[in-house]
Amino acid sequence: MNITNSSKRKTLLAGLVGLFAAGGMTQAVAQGGEAATGQSAIDEIIVTANKREQSLQDTAMSIRALSQDEIERNGYIGMNDYLSTIPGVSQMEIGVGNNRLSMRGISASQTDETSVGVYLGEVSLSHIGTGANGNAVDIKLVDIERVEVLRGPQGTLFGSGTMGGAVRNIPNAPNLTEVESELQVGFSDLDGADRLNNKITGVVNIPLVENQLALRIAAYRFENRGYVDMVSDSDPSKVVIANDFGGVLNNRTEVGGNEFAGVRASLLWQPADNLSVTLMHARQDLDQNGMSYIDPDIGGYKSTALDFNGEFDGQEGRSDEGSFTNLVINYDLSWGNLISSTTISDSTQIRDIAGSRFIPLPLPIRNENSRDNFTQELRVSSQLSGPVQFLGGIYYEDMEFVGDTLVVWGGDDALNPFGNDLFEGPDGTDIKQTAFFGEVYYDIADQFKLTLGGRWFDYERKILIDQSGALGTVSFDGESTEKDFKGKVNLEYTPSDDALIYTQWAQGFRLGQPVVVPPLGVCDTDNDGILDGSSPPTPINTSGALDSDNLDSIEVGGKFSFLDNQLITNIAIYSIDWKGIPINVAGSCGFGTILNGGEARSQGLEVEATYQVSEKLRLNFGLGYNDAELSKDAPGLGSKGDRLPYSQRISGNLSIDYNFYLNGFESFIHANYAYVGDFHTDLAEESIEIGDYSKLSLRLGLSINEHWDVELYGTNLTNSDDLSGFEPSVGGGFRLTPRQIGLDVRYQF
């Protein structure tokens, strides 16, 4: 590392911080009287959490909405920037751009399918994520109007995979009347990296035919330096593997560097007042040089693994490519809106991992998968004049996933004890699903409103596995089908214009799947239906399928505003019963069974408040408490009272925004503190503890004129290196991204 250059960069950035801070304090003192007396109400935020426009404070559910101003002012780019600041949400980064999300403690294991849906507009990003479990792609927050975080099950309107909740990224729509353009460049110094991170984003909006046709394009590239050091020759076990099998030991710095590049183009056509057509196409690519795993036993940002001796580009790495096209047609029927949303998406991921991380052999492993998805939703949302409103629709999905795992020899060929074909494991999943959904809203009286909702779904899921090689052979061809109904009841009471109290019962679910039935002649020798050698004795699942797991949630909440809408406070209390959790039980015959046997209960509280103290000063506060645990013994899963994985008991955040003038220029200071409670990745809490850390960030901005903005920021200012994630299958962990000091410059044309 060039210590001289690094020191110069840090001195320069520190000087800029001092300049901003000194100017800000001076101006704050000079204008103290004005700041104390200025009054301003909190701006209303319109959300579409119920697939119809409503004020955030008039929506009877637990929502945290981030406006475009908040996203930009806080410098939010990816999920890990903002989800840790939201009570009730747990986000564990398991690699760059790959996140494990849970809400209100609803998660049982790392191999589970996602319980939180992630969307960009009408598009489900869970279908273009990495792996068969559908972890959503981390789309970057460039030109985003708002983010809506919906806590609690969203089974009626959003369907499968939203048992815990949903995260909705709403992009800016094309502007039919004005030309808009913006260019932003930025550089940042990351502690432990020799070179600067850099980024560039651009947005342009062009009305092609005034009031009828407009094109909006957003593009970006983020280049982030790695901060993990590969120190393989310091690990005696890796040295032994290298000596005994001819494995390759290489030490490197800045491992895990990555580059995100993406583009999103939206074309809006409005030929008449009652008809609009929006076509959006987006693509995001990720390339990563090395993996950012760390070895928790070593400490710091250090890792050990053998290279690949020429296989798979010679070392660990990753590349993701994802794209989708979405067509939305909105027709005003005068009494309501008819909306059609059609999406075609595809993605490809390649992930190269060193098997030497968890197997004492030089075994490079490549996981490669692709996913193609088609969805069609048609819905009607009423705009009637009477006390009754409704929303109803039909949903169709056709998803195909194809994966392959390839294990090769990464040492000296003469020392290979297996031969050439170590392992090749193609597998595939095909899902076809049809659903009908709807909600009816009835104004019982001036102050009471009743909502009844439901979703009926019918799905078919096929899984094909054909894995073979010296390391094992697996062959499976199964199919499962299921039809079911999920419901929702919501009663809201508005005693005044400044208060909303509600109670809600809602259901959520995840689709089931086919499973392998163990050979009964070997695993049930006495024909009693019990898996031989299972403890305690467990019935064999002979149906060949897992049913959907599901939950019932009871929530009571209130939304209140005080001081002429200067203070807003939202509270939600919930209790969730989760049933049918898949469990794996092993027998003495060498086979196992999988069945719906787990039950859990999650209870908690979420409190959020925003206080516009004056025209210049705003405070935001959030606190979440969650107690999620198994409610009965589940052999193969855990024991009654075991805390659910990824469920942090305490989370909280506090942020301060202050606007001021610096030498005549509009300026602001934003400070944010977030606390993430401890959690584990397993029910028995035998895995390494994750979380129990704080993150402190600061951003200072200055508007030179109507065209130029300059912002200076720092993240993880305390330079905490606590564990932020762990991947048990690899045995590697992840630490908080080190302290980062950066500068952004924005030019609006």
**Domain residue spans of the chain:** 3-420+612-618+651-748
DSSP 362: -
Query: Two tokens at 466?
Result: 């054909």
H or E stretch covering 16:
helix 3-30
Query: Two tokens at 135?
Result: 């972890």
Query: Two tokens at 636?
Result: 């193969």
In three state form, how does the secondary structure of 205-231 look?
A: EEEEECCCEEEEEEEEEEEECCCEEEC
Radius of gyration of the chain (CA): 27
Cα separation, 285 vs 287, in Å, equals 7
For 468-536, strand residue ranges (E) read 474-496, 499-510, 513-514
DSSP 176: S
Which has the closest alpha carbon to 95: 126, 71, 130, 123?
Answer: 130
DSSP 649: S
Write the CA distances from 378 to 338, 340, 581, 595, 599, integer angstroms: 7, 5, 31, 35, 35
Residue 20 is predicted with a pLDDT of: 36
Q: pTM of the entire structure?
A: 0.90
Tell me how many degrees the CA angle 286-292-296 measures, rounded to the nearest 5. Answer: 155
CB 613 within 8 A of CB 573: no
CB 221 within 8 A of CB 199: yes
Residue 687 is predicted with a pLDDT of: 81
Cα separation, 353 vs 364, in Å, equals 6
Residue 285 is predicted with a pLDDT of: 94
Write the CA distances from 96 to 139, 259, 315, 346, 734, integer angstroms: 12, 10, 17, 20, 10
Report residues of the chain scoring pLDDT below 50. 1-38, 129-134
Cα separation, 235 vs 302, in Å, equals 11
Q: Bridge partners of 506?
A: 488, 553
Which has the closest alpha carbon to 424: 483, 470, 456?
Answer: 470
Cα separation, 182 vs 186, in Å, equals 13
Which has the closest alpha carbon to 70: 496, 527, 701?
Answer: 701
Q: How many CB atoms lie within 10 A of CB 472?
A: 11
Residue 599 half-sphere exposure toward CB, CA atoms < 13 A = 6
| Phi–psi pair at 13, nearest 5 degrees | -65, -40
Longest dimension (CA), the chain: 88
Which has the closest alpha carbon to 347: 567, 113, 585, 128?
Answer: 128
Q: Look at strands 364-382 and 336-354 and give their pairing.
A: antiparallel
Residue 111 is predicted with a pLDDT of: 60
Cα separation, 10 vs 254, in Å, equals 18
Q: Which CATH architecture has domain 3-420+612-618+651-748?
A: Beta Barrel (2.40)
Cα separation, 529 vs 527, in Å, equals 6
Measure the N-to-C terminal CA separation of the chain; round to a whole number of Å: 39
